Amino acid sequence: MAKKIIIGILALLNSALLITIMISIITGWHFRTSPSDTSKIIAEESNTDTQNESDDDDDNDSSSESAADEEEDTDNDFVPGVTVDEISDDKEIDVSGQSSSEPEESSEPEESSEHEESSEQEKVSQPEKKSEFPSADSMSTSDKAGLMDAEGYSWDKGWTYLTSQAKQIKDYSCLTGGWKATMITDPLELMDSYATDYFNVEFSGSEISADVKINWGIRIVKSAGTIDATGEYSSMTGSFSGEKLTAVGSGSISIDGFYFENGKEFAVGTYTWPDGVIGYIGLIRP
């Protein structure tokens, strides 16, 4: 009986203990969730959010400062050949270190210019080579050819005035201009066309395109007497090969050589008439 009573008391105590614990738990929860504690919690959460926003602002400021620092570092990047002090805000600097507003001048034109100046100086410093023969202008003549101009000329021997000291002229520019001429046609009278002509010849043009103009004058024909052919012309075109001139037109002419001696110029050759008869020419000037 006593045992049952004790067990009953213990059961009551356990029930009371359980009730006490439950009351304590309910009372404690109520205490933590009281209005004052709730305000504290809200305040703490607000402070936490404010702190987080402040931290975010600090982070943004730090990011901005880092970006600015990086941009400044980029602006101050090392450029070969240019110091930081030389970099100006109003000039763009390329990788070569030269300002884009002042392009580098090429040195090649200067070299070309120097070469041209050097060539000009050489031309000035070197005197022009003078020909050993008189100029064509100084020797050219427009005087009418006559009997006196034929003295010393033979159809078979050429100009008897010439000696072994005569110099042959091979520069066509020295031969242009006017000459006086004597021609003996059919000297052996093989074609019954024997005649002597006194006329003028003019050479012009260039070596590769030589022009020959004959201004006919007095012609003495054995069978017909003297004929004045003044005002009649014959034109021919050909070339000069370095010592010989050939031209074709109204007939054809071939001058085999030009010479200079004792202040005069001489030439010998042949003229072929349109009918095939050959005349032997002697030219002289002045």
pLDDT for residue 133 = 77
pLDDT tens, residue by residue, 93-111: 443 444 444 445 544 545 5
Which of 31-35, 110-114, 268-272 has the highest average model confidence (pLDDT)?
268-272
Q: Where residue 70 falls among pLDDT bands split at 50, 70, 90?
A: very low
CB 152 within 8 A of CB 160: yes
Reply yes or no on whether the pLDDT at 206 is more than 90. yes
Asked whether 203 and 177 are in contact (CB, 8 A), the reply is yes
Query: Is residue 75 pLDDT above 90, yes or no?
Result: no
Q: What one-character DSSP code corresponds to residue 101?
A: T
First-residue to last-residue Cα distance in the chain: 185
The pLDDT value recorded for residue 129 is: 53
HSE (side-chain half, CA atoms, 13 Å) at 232: 12
**Mean pLDDT score across all residues of the chain:** 75
